[in-house]
Structure 1
Amino acid sequence: MSINCIRRLIEDAAISHPQKNALILNEKSLTYSDLLTKVNQVAFYLKELNLPKGSRIGVYSNKGIEQVIAILSILSTDYVLVPLTKLLKPEQVEYIIKDCDIKCIITDKLKLESIEEIKFDGHIISYETTHKEIASFEEIFKYYNKPYSCEINGHDNAVITYSFGITGTPKGIVISHRNLIDSARVVSQYLHLEEDDVISGILIFNLDYGLNQIFCSLYKRATLALHRFILASDFFNHLINDNVTVIPLMPINITQMFDEELQRLPSAELLSKIRIITSSGGNVTPKMLNIVQKYFVNAKFFSMHGLTEAFRSTYLDPSQINIRPNSIGKAIPDVELYVIDANGNECAPRVVGELIHRGGYIYKGFWNAPIETAERFKSIEILKNVINLEGQLIDEIVVKTGDYVYKDEEGYLYFVSRHDDMIKTRGFRVSPYEVESVVMNNIPQIEQCAVFSINNDEIEEEIVLVYSARSELSSKEITFELKKHLASYMIPSKIIYKKSLPLIPSDKNKINKQELKKEVLETI
Structure 2
Amino acid sequence: MSINCIRALIEDANLSHPDKIAIKHDDKSITYKELFAKVNQVAFYLNELDLPKGSRVGIYSKKGIDQVIAILAILSTNYVLVPLTRLLKSEQVEYIINDCDIRCIITDRVKLESIEEIAFDGHIISYETTHKDIPSFEEIFKYYNKPYTYEVNGHDNAVITYSFGLTGTPKGIVISHRNLIDSARVVSQYLNLEEDDVLSGVLIFNLDYGLNQIFCSLYKRATLALHRFILPGDFFNHLINDKVTVVALMPVTITSMFDEDEHRLPSPELLSNIKTMTSSGGNVTSKMVQKVKKYFTNVDFYSMHGLTEAFRSTYLDPSQINIRPESIGKAIPDVELYVINEEGKECKSREVGELIHRGGYIYKGFWNAPEETSQRFKSIQILKDVINLEGQLRDEIVVATGDYVYKDEEGYFYFVSRRDDMIKTRGFRVSPLEIESVVRKNLPMIEQCAIFSIPNSEIEEEIVMVYSARSEIAPKEITFELKKHLASYMIPSKIIYKKSLPLVPSDRNKINKEELKAELLDKVN
TM over 0.5: yes
Report the alpha carbon displacement of residue 444 of structure 1 after superposing the two structures with TM. Answer: 1.0
Map of 1:277 onto structure 2: 277
Looking at structure 1, the residues matched to 393 and 399 of structure 2 have their Cα atoms a distance apart, in angstroms, of: 17
Mapping for residues 25-44 of structure 1, pairs under 5 Å = 25-44=25-44
Map of 2:475 onto structure 1: 475
Report the alpha carbon displacement of residue 470 of structure 1 after superposing the two structures with TM. Answer: 0.7
Mapping for residues 112-511 of structure 1, pairs under 5 Å = 112-511=112-511
Looking at structure 2, the residues matched to 199 and 452 of structure 1 have their Cα atoms a distance apart, in angstroms, of: 36
Looking at structure 1, the residues matched to 335 and 14 of structure 2 have their Cα atoms a distance apart, in angstroms, of: 32
Looking at structure 1, the residues matched to 347 and 229 of structure 2 have their Cα atoms a distance apart, in angstroms, of: 42
Looking at structure 1, the residues matched to 166 and 466 of structure 2 have their Cα atoms a distance apart, in angstroms, of: 22
The one-letter code matched in structure 1 to 2:501 is L
Q: Is contact 1:54-1:78 (8 Å) kept?
A: yes
The answer for unaligned runs of 5 or more in structure 2 is: none
The one-letter code matched in structure 2 to 1:192 is N
The CA deviation string for residues 495-519 of structure 1, in whole angstroms up to 9 with x for no partner, is: 0001110001111110001111111
The one-letter code matched in structure 2 to 1:314 is T
Report the alpha carbon displacement of residue 390 of structure 1 after superposing the two structures with TM. Answer: 1.4
Mapping for residues 16-165 of structure 1, pairs under 5 Å = 16-165=16-165
Report the alpha carbon displacement of residue 260 of structure 1 after superposing the two structures with TM. Answer: 0.9
The TM-score with structure 1 as length reference comes to 1.00
Aligned with 1:255: secondary structure?
helix
The CA deviation string for residues 32-76 of structure 1, in whole angstroms up to 9 with x for no partner, is: 000000000000000000000000000000000000000000000
Aligned with 1:390: secondary structure?
coil
Looking at structure 2, the residues matched to 228 and 123 of structure 1 have their Cα atoms a distance apart, in angstroms, of: 27
The CA deviation string for residues 338-372 of structure 1, in whole angstroms up to 9 with x for no partner, is: 00111111111111111000000000000000000
The CA deviation string for residues 194-221 of structure 1, in whole angstroms up to 9 with x for no partner, is: 0000000000000000000000000000
The CA deviation string for residues 301-341 of structure 1, in whole angstroms up to 9 with x for no partner, is: 00000000000000000000110111110000000000011
Aligned with 2:139: secondary structure?
helix
Q: Greater shift after overlay, 240-249 or 383-392?
A: 383-392
Aligned with 2:304: secondary structure?
strand
The one-letter code matched in structure 1 to 2:86 is K
The one-letter code matched in structure 2 to 1:120 is F
Report the alpha carbon displacement of residue 185 of structure 1 after superposing the two structures with TM. Answer: 0.2
Q: Does residue 519 of structure 2 align to residue 519 of structure 1?
A: yes
The one-letter code matched in structure 1 to 2:148 is Y
Looking at structure 2, the residues matched to 375 and 292 of structure 1 have their Cα atoms a distance apart, in angstroms, of: 38
Looking at structure 2, the residues matched to 335 and 392 of structure 1 have their Cα atoms a distance apart, in angstroms, of: 18
The CA deviation string for residues 123-169 of structure 1, in whole angstroms up to 9 with x for no partner, is: 00000000110000000000000000001000000000000012111
Q: Is contact 1:380-1:394 (8 Å) kept?
A: no
The one-letter code matched in structure 2 to 1:2 is S
* RMSD, aligned CA: 0.6
Looking at structure 2, the residues matched to 518 and 410 of structure 1 have their Cα atoms a distance apart, in angstroms, of: 34
Looking at structure 1, the residues matched to 239 and 510 of structure 2 have their Cα atoms a distance apart, in angstroms, of: 49
The one-letter code matched in structure 2 to 1:476 is K
Looking at structure 2, the residues matched to 440 and 473 of structure 1 have their Cα atoms a distance apart, in angstroms, of: 15
Map of 2:5 onto structure 1: 5
The CA deviation string for residues 358-410 of structure 1, in whole angstroms up to 9 with x for no partner, is: 00000000000000000100111111111111124341100000001110111
Looking at structure 2, the residues matched to 514 and 473 of structure 1 have their Cα atoms a distance apart, in angstroms, of: 24
Looking at structure 2, the residues matched to 351 and 286 of structure 1 have their Cα atoms a distance apart, in angstroms, of: 23
Aligned with 2:391: secondary structure?
helix
The one-letter code matched in structure 1 to 2:313 is S
The one-letter code matched in structure 1 to 2:42 is V
Looking at structure 2, the residues matched to 183 and 280 of structure 1 have their Cα atoms a distance apart, in angstroms, of: 14
The one-letter code matched in structure 2 to 1:116 is E
Report the alpha carbon displacement of residue 180 of structure 1 after superposing the two structures with TM. Answer: 0.0
Looking at structure 2, the residues matched to 506 and 419 of structure 1 have their Cα atoms a distance apart, in angstroms, of: 20
Looking at structure 1, the residues matched to 409 and 286 of structure 2 have their Cα atoms a distance apart, in angstroms, of: 23
The CA deviation string for residues 239-279 of structure 1, in whole angstroms up to 9 with x for no partner, is: 00000000000011111111111101110000000000000
Looking at structure 1, the residues matched to 102 and 440 of structure 2 have their Cα atoms a distance apart, in angstroms, of: 29
Looking at structure 1, the residues matched to 520 and 393 of structure 2 have their Cα atoms a distance apart, in angstroms, of: 51
The one-letter code matched in structure 2 to 1:65 is I
Looking at structure 2, the residues matched to 234 and 64 of structure 1 have their Cα atoms a distance apart, in angstroms, of: 16
Looking at structure 2, the residues matched to 446 and 122 of structure 1 have their Cα atoms a distance apart, in angstroms, of: 37
Aligned with 1:391: secondary structure?
coil
Q: Is contact 1:381-1:394 (8 Å) kept?
A: no
Q: Greater shift after overlay, 285-294 or 14-23?
A: 285-294
The one-letter code matched in structure 2 to 1:342 is E
The one-letter code matched in structure 1 to 2:428 is F
Q: Is contact 1:41-1:144 (8 Å) kept?
A: yes
Looking at structure 1, the residues matched to 510 and 380 of structure 2 have their Cα atoms a distance apart, in angstroms, of: 36
The one-letter code matched in structure 1 to 2:127 is Y
The one-letter code matched in structure 1 to 2:445 is Q
Report the alpha carbon displacement of residue 523 of structure 1 after superposing the two structures with TM. Answer: 2.1
Looking at structure 1, the residues matched to 503 and 225 of structure 2 have their Cα atoms a distance apart, in angstroms, of: 51
The CA deviation string for residues 452-492 of structure 1, in whole angstroms up to 9 with x for no partner, is: 00000000000000000111000001000000000000000
Q: After the TM superposition, list the runs of 4 or more consecutive aligned residues in structure 1 that deviate by more than 3 angstroms.
A: none
Looking at structure 2, the residues matched to 522 and 273 of structure 1 have their Cα atoms a distance apart, in angstroms, of: 46
Length, aligned pairs only:
524
Looking at structure 2, the residues matched to 229 and 408 of structure 1 have their Cα atoms a distance apart, in angstroms, of: 36
Looking at structure 2, the residues matched to 52 and 409 of structure 1 have their Cα atoms a distance apart, in angstroms, of: 53
The one-letter code matched in structure 1 to 2:472 is E
Looking at structure 2, the residues matched to 316 and 327 of structure 1 have their Cα atoms a distance apart, in angstroms, of: 7
The CA deviation string for residues 81-101 of structure 1, in whole angstroms up to 9 with x for no partner, is: 000000000000000000000
The one-letter code matched in structure 2 to 1:518 is A
Looking at structure 2, the residues matched to 393 and 349 of structure 1 have their Cα atoms a distance apart, in angstroms, of: 31
Aligned with 2:95: secondary structure?
helix
The one-letter code matched in structure 2 to 1:18 is P
